[in-house]
Structure formats: structure tokens, C-alpha cells
A and B are shown apart, each in its own frame.
Chain A
Amino acid sequence: MMEIQTKPQSNKRILVVEDTVDTQYLLSFYLEHEGYEVITATDGEDALKILKASNELPAVIFLDLMMPIMDGPQFIEEQKKDRRLSTIPVVIMSAATDITDEALKLNASGYLKKPLRLEDLLRTSQKYCGHA
């Protein structure tokens, strides 16, 4: 039997896309507190701009669905068009009760139900970035 060698996960960078400034602040406060590196964007368009300009891509994107200017689903559509960005896993965040359906529909890697719980946040971060 051969064991599949996984690449050591060293990328601790998380992109948080969230329009509610307070929630955005709290998310980065907590994730930084846990040792992750957090970049933030206030909507889909902002996120695309940041991603296209950066050399080091995040290990995962935490994406709010309901946002002004460019919402979550629109962002995912744009992200898919860019080969460099399309491989970054996206975890959607929503208060919607049908969030699992939504995640399937958008082909997201995972979901976080709002109101968010710290342990879910941490577990999800660890899954994509490893233990900080």
C-alpha cells in the first residue's frame, strides 16, 4: 500500500469577503488571534481586485453571499473564469436555512452557517490552512 503524500500546508492566509464591517473586523480579529493571516474585502468586486493584484493567493476564501455591488454567487462565477483563482477553495457564509443546497449549487468547498460559531470557524480554517 502506498500512502499518498500530501503537501505540507504552509499557507496560513485567509481571504474574508464580508460587507458588514463589524463582522469583518471580528472575523479577522479572531482568526488573527488564532494565528492566521487575514486579508479582507467588502464585496465581490473588491475581492477580485485584491486577488488579481496579489502574488500570494490565500489558502481559502470565506465568502458572504449577500453583499452590495457584487454578491457571493457573482463572485464565484467571476472566480471560475480566472484559471489562477479558480482553484482556491471557497467556503460560503450565510444565514439562509438552505445553505447546504446553496453550497451544492455554487459548487462551494464548504459552508459556515451564520450566526457563526468560533469552533466551526477554527475547524474550517484548520482544514484548509492546517494548524496555525
Chain B
Amino acid sequence: MPLRAVQILLIEDNPADIDLSKAALREWRILNELSIAEDGEEAMAYLRKEGKYANASRPDLIFLDLNLPKKDGRQVLKEIKSDRILKTIPVIIVSSSDADIDILKTYGMGANCYIIKPVGLNNFLNIISSVGDFWFNVVTLPPKELTKQFFGQTASNYPPVPHQQQLGNTLTVLVVEDTDEDARYVREILAPQKQPTFSLIFKDRLASAIEALQTEQIDVVLLDLNLPDSQGVKTYTDLAAKFPSIAIVVATGLDDSEIALQVIRSGAQDYIVKNNFDGNLLSRILQYAVERNWLEQEQNVLLARESAARTDAEKAIQGRDEFLSIASHELKTPITSLRLQSQILLKLIEEGNKEEIFEKNKRLAQVLDNQTARLSKLIENLLDVSRINAGKLMLEFSDVDLNEVVNDLLERSQADLDKANCKVTLKTTKNVIGHWDRYRIEQLITNLLTNAIRYGKGKPIEINISQTDGYAKLSIKDNGIGIKKEDLARMFNRFEQILPKAKVGGLGLGLYIVQQITDAHNGVIRVDSEIDKGSTFTVRLPLKLTAEPKIRQTRDIELHP
């Protein structure tokens, strides 16, 4: 499963076209991860990270079909291009229309590219493939890392607060009334109203009212409770259950305060007694109902945001507590050794037992060194994470020989390898030299190697280094416990460990740091794993940074956590 591959969002409802696109993207030379939205609403939910898409990654490129169910492709394009963050994502229109006016209009709405749906499988594959080459090898895309910096927070995790609707000059009222005379009365008294004017839609059944609400844009419903197909308070509750966000004013022939109370308590905006009002009063009642209803909707959204934010905060606190408990165990372990150590030395010195001090000197010093090294590595990792979070991971570029780095590290890890009874074989073609940050590359390989030893069950580890097309590829393969499919993506998170923390040690930062370093070098990491067979981590790094030349060398960059 590729991670940090380029993210493609395909917005397309035609299953045949989806299959074709999937096949074409598999052929790409660029590692990519495809997400599919089958209608316009789903697409916008994905892009705005709403609901189940809370963890969706922002696409690097969008393929958009113009004919979509629920929300039309043009509307989707309009919404993307009017969002200050989403508008930086290139949108490629794939449409079967070759009409000049369609093409012109679509470009006018901010489309980045318009492609007429090619006929024939091979044509399709060729075109999609050249699109990939063009957008990811020729074009310089907006840097994802900087987008956040320039535009602030990325598309919100929380539902958007609706903008206050300006009460229009015309209010559309759905009058649900089965008595002709009453319907006529409403029409007559509202007709002279100018501020606002009223556009009336009349329905005489609950069923037809429901239909109208599904298809028409309606501001407020004036609802008679007693209709041929529904009677009493139930008429209101049934309609409100189906359309919880519409303003409803209930009208009945009876001045029954019991019923009035009931409908108001269930959420109706108002209750009026028929023929007991004039045009001015009804106009005001309808306007207020719309306004009040809007305020209620806004409050509901604010409440939902509030509770979503609280859940997030609670999760974050829980994660932090868990981390603190692991961190304190990890930090105390070497300290336990160190303190024992210093106490023993003191005691031996107090006892004046020189012989014993010197006899055991080497081993004692070794322990001291081991545990101090362990402690400083833990602290270094913690500092790295806080640097990354603060966007302060600075890279210093120089020519780095990958073979040299790996050989060097293997030499240094010999003691650990021996302890784990692990054999390492290194397969490499020739000198693979890239323009990278040497220290960070060392750290990346060390972390992967540490994992391979830790989870490798003492079985052989294989390291492969190769170079193709301006990329260096390094893979570390173990034959250990393997990783469950559902854990693959999660394990790159901060403080995440797949196995119970007590069992393996470490802070759960290794892969997170690996990912951040790979990102900073514009690289890609993938992992292939099978339970009980082992895991292979493959890192692909461009030999030189081309996407954002030089900038990174002189400026702090922001990394996406």
C-alpha cells in the first residue's frame, strides 16, 4: 500500500468510466492513491472533510465529470473555485460535451483543464497517462506545505456555519390547505403585500406538500393541520420529521390552545387561527418564522461544531495522557540503570574496594554509556517531534552517498544486531548519490532498521539500494511478525504503536519521523506487509529536489503532521 503517494480525487458517477480511470491510474509512473466520489454532494463532503471524510487527505488533482447526480459538476466546480483553500487544487474537467459554449463556460468558472471524454479504451488510457505526466512531471503544483501557511487552517473538520440569508424581496410560501375558500383568503390578503412580496405554492394534501418541498425552493410552510390524508398534530410532526430545517407556521380553524402548545413545543415557528388575521399580520408572522428558523438552524450548527470540537479535544487529551505514561516509563528505564550504577560506584568507592572497582570497570562504564545513549536518543526524538510540529525541521543539503550511510549505520548497529541474533544482507548496484540532509537520512534509515530488528523475530533482514530515473530507492525487508492491513496507515501517526506499548518499548515516534523526513525530501514511502511473513519498507527519494528548488534550504518549512 503506497503512502504519501499523490492524491487523486475522481468525481464521476458512471461505473464504466470509474473502472477505466482506475485502470489508467494504475498504469501511471507516478505512485498515486485514488479516491472516488460518485456525486457532487459526496465530492464536496470529501473536500470539506465532513462526516465520514474527516480524515480525508486533500487531493493534489481533481478529475471532475460535469454531469453528476445530486449536485451538478458545474456547481461543484463553482464551490471548489470559490473556496480560498480548495481553489488551489487543479481541476481537470472530463466531459462528453464538445460544445464551444460548455467549454468556454467551464473555463470561465475556473477549470484548469478541459478534456473531451476520449472514445476507445486505448485513447482513454493514453490521455489519462499524459495528464499524469503533464501535471506531476512538467507542471509545478502549488506546494501543499505552504498552502496552510498562506491560507490558514485547511478546510474545516467542523460543519460550516451558514451565512445569514438576506431575507429576499420575495418569500416563497408553501400553503398546504384543502379548503378552497381558506386558500383564496390567504392569496387575497398577501397579494397587496410589497415588502416583501409573496410567491405562493398551493397544495391540498400532505403527500403533495412533501413532494413540493423535495423539488421546490421554499422559505416557509403555512400548514393546515386537518387535511384529507392527515389530521391533527401528527400532520405537523410528520412534515417536520421529514424536513427538520424548514420553517413551519401551523394554521387551524380551531382556537385550541392545547394543540397550539403541542405544535409549538414540537418546534413549529408559530400557530395561527384561520381568518383571524389580516395581510400585514400574516406577512409579519411568515417573515419572523423564516428569521427565527434561520437562527435556530445556526444554533444547531454551532452546537454541532462545539460538540465535534470537544470530542476532538477530549481525544487529544486522552492521547497526550497515554503518551505521557509511555514517555515516563521509557525515560525512567535508563534512569533506573544509571542511578543503580552511580550508587554502586559510590558504594564501592566508600568501601574502598579498589580491586572490584577496576575489575568490573569496563562493564560498568559500558552500562553507563549504553543508558546515557538511550536517554539522549529518546530526548532527541522528542525534540524532533516538537521541531516538526513547530515547522522548524531545517534541512542541510549536501551530496550523500547512500551506500556509505547504510554501511556506516550497519557497523554502528552491529551490537544491536548481534543481540537480536539478526543477519543483514545488503544488495546494492552502484554508488547512489543524492542531494539530501545526511543526518536526517541517517535517522530515517536508523528508525527503519530499528523497527526491522525490533519486530523481525531475529530472522534475516535484507536491505536493497538502487537508482532509476533520478530517484534512489531504499528498501528494508524483515521476516518478522508483519503488520495487519488496518494498522498500515495508522502506524505513521505520532505516538502510535501497533502492539501494546509495554511489550516493545519505544515512544511510537519512529515511523512518524521517517514519514516527515521522507516528505521533506519530496519522497514517497510505501510498505508491503503480511502477517507472520514480515514487512518491507520502501523509500523512494528524488536525487535532487526539483519541486521547490532551494527554498527549503534557506527557510523553515512547515510539515503536515
Binding site for B on A (CB under 8 A): 20, 22-23, 25-27, 29-30, 33, 66-69, 71, 95-96, 114-118
A residues near B371, Cβ cutoff 8 Å:
22
B414 is an interface residue with CB less than 8 A from chain A: no
With A68-B505, A69-B503 already in contact, 5 other A-B pairs whose C-beta atoms are closer than 8 Å = A23-B336, A26-B340, A68-B504, A115-B332, A118-B343
Interchain CB contact under 8 A, B341 and A26 = yes
How many Å lie between the Cα of A89 and that of B371 in the bound state?
Answer: 30
A27 to B367, CA, bound (A): 12
Interface of B: prevailing SS: helix
A117 CB contacts on chain B under 8 angstroms: 339, 343
Alpha-carbon distance A20/B329, docked complex (angstroms): 12
A40 to B344, CA, bound (A): 19
B367 touches A115 (CB 8 A): no
Separation of A79 and B328 alpha carbons in the complex (Å): 29
CB-based contact B344/A25 at 8 Å: no
A19 to chain B, nearest CB (A): 9
- Determine if B367 and A26 form an interchain contact, defined as CB atoms under 8 angstroms apart: yes
Report if B170 contacts A (CB, 8 A). Answer: no
Least Cβ–Cβ distance between B481 and chain A, in angstroms: 12
Q: Which of B317-347 contact A (CB under 8 A)?
A: 328-329, 332-333, 335-341, 343-344, 347
Which of B340, B343, B363, B364 is the one whose CB lies under 8 Å from A23? B340
Give Cα A23 to B341, complex, Å: 9
Task: Return B343 CB to nearest CB of chain A, in Å.
Answer: 5
Q: Are B335's CB and A115's CB within 8 A?
A: yes
Q: How far is the CA of A116 from the CA of B505 in the complex (A)?
A: 20
Write the nearest CB–CB distance from A123 to chain B, whole angstroms.
Answer: 14
Determine the residue in chain B with the shortest Cβ distance to A122.
B347
Interfacial chain B residues near A71, Cβ < 8 Å: 502-503
Question: Could you list 20 A-B pairs, sorted by A, with CB under 8 Å?
Answer: A22-B337, A22-B367, A22-B370, A25-B367, A26-B337, A26-B341, A26-B367, A27-B340, A29-B360, A30-B340, A33-B356, A68-B503, A68-B505, A69-B503, A115-B332, A115-B335, A115-B336, A115-B339, A117-B339, A118-B347
B344 touches A29 (CB 8 A): yes
A95-B336 contact, Cβ under 8 Å, with A22-B371, A33-B356: yes
Which residue of chain A is the closest to B325 with respect to CB atoms? A96
Q: How many residues of B contact A (CB 8 A)?
A: 26
Query: What is the bound-complex CA distance between A25 and B337, given in angstroms?
Result: 9
Partner of B344, one of A26, A66, A95, A96: A26
A125 to chain B, nearest CB (A): 14
| A13 → chain B closest CB, angstroms | 20
Beta-carbon contact of B333 and A20 below 8 Å:
yes
Contact indicator A114/B336 (Cβ below 8 Å):
yes
**B residues less than 8 Å from A116 (CB atoms):** 336, 339-340
B185 nearest CB across to chain A (Å): 76
In angstroms, Cα B371 to Cα A23, docked, is 10
Chain B's nearest CB lies how many Å from the CB of A60?
Answer: 18
Residues of A near B340 (CB, < 8 A) are: 23, 26-27, 30, 115-116, 118
Per-residue A-contact encoding for B347-370, CB less than 8 Å = 1, 0 else? 110000000100010011001001
Tell me whether A20 and B336 are in contact in the complex, defined as CB-CB below 8 angstroms, given that A29-B344, A95-B329 are known contacts.
yes
Give the Cβ gap from B499 to chain A, nearest Cβ, in Å: 9
Q: How far is the CB of A99 from chain B (nearest CB, A)?
A: 12
Which 6 residue pairs spanning A and B have beta carbons closest together?
A95-B332, A115-B339, A26-B340, A66-B502, A22-B367, A22-B337
**How far apart are the CA atoms of A117 and B336 in the complex, in Å?**
9
Give A113 Cβ to nearest chain B Cβ, in Å: 10
List chain A residues, Cβ under 8 A from B337: 20, 22-23, 26
CA distance A33 to B360 in the complex (A): 11
Contact partner of B333 (CB less than 8 A), chosen from A25, A29, A68, A95, is A95
Those of B293-333 within 8 Å (CB) of chain A? 328-329, 332-333
Q: How far is the CB of A116 from chain B (nearest CB, A)?
A: 6
- Minimum CB–CB distance for A25 against chain B, Å: 6
Q: Give chain B residues whose Cβ lies under 8 Å from the Cβ of A29.
A: 344, 360, 364
Provide the bound-state CA to CA distance between A61 and B95, in Å. Answer: 75
Chain B residues, CB < 8 A from A66:
329, 502
Q: Which of B487-543 contact A (CB under 8 A)?
A: 502-505
B residues in contact with A27, CB < 8 Å: 340
B-side contacts of A114, CB under 8 Å: 332, 336
| Among B344, B360, B363, contact of A118 (Cβ-Cβ < 8 Å) | B344
**Contacting residues, chain A, for B505 (C-beta < 8 A):** 68
User: How many Å lie between the Cα of A118 and that of B342 in the bound state?
Assistant: 10
- Cα distance A95–B347 in the bound complex, in angstroms: 23
Q: Which residues of B contact A22 (CB under 8 A)?
A: 337, 367, 370-371
Residues from chain B with Cβ under 8 Å of A26 in the complex: 337, 340-341, 344, 367
Residues from chain B with a CB closer than 8 A to the CB of A30 are: 340, 344, 347
Instruction: Give CA–CA (A22, B340) in the complex, Å.
Output: 10
What CA separation (Å) do A122 and B340 show in the bound complex?
Answer: 12
Q: What is the CA–CA distance of A115 and B343 in the complex, to the nearest angstrom?
A: 11
Q: Could you tell me the distance between the alpha carbons of A40 and B370 in the complex, rounded to whole angstroms?
A: 20
A33 to B350, CA, bound (A): 14
Query: Which residues of chain A have C-beta atoms less than 8 A from B356's C-beta?
Result: 33
Which residue of chain B lies nearest to A72 when distances are taken between CB atoms in the complex? B502
Residue of A nearest to B353 (CB): A33
A24 to chain B, nearest CB (A): 9
Q: Considering residues B340, B363, B367, B504, which has the most beta carbons from chain A within 10 angstroms of its beta carbon?
A: B340
Report which residue of B333, B336, B363, B502 has the largest number of chain A beta carbons within 10 angstroms of its beta carbon. Answer: B336
Contacts of B343 in A (CB 8 A): 117-118
**Residues of chain A lying within 8 A (CB to CB) of residue B504:** 68
A107: min CB distance to chain B, Å: 20
Please, which residues of chain B bring their CB within 8 A of the CB of A118?
Answer: 340, 343-344, 347
Closest chain B residue to A96, Cβ basis? B329
Q: Which residue of B lies closest to A24 (CB)?
A: B337
Nearest A residue to B326, CB-CB: A66
Within the complex, the shortest CB–CB distance from B363 to chain A, in Å, comes to: 7
Closest approach, in angstroms, between the C-beta of A117 and any C-beta of chain B? 7
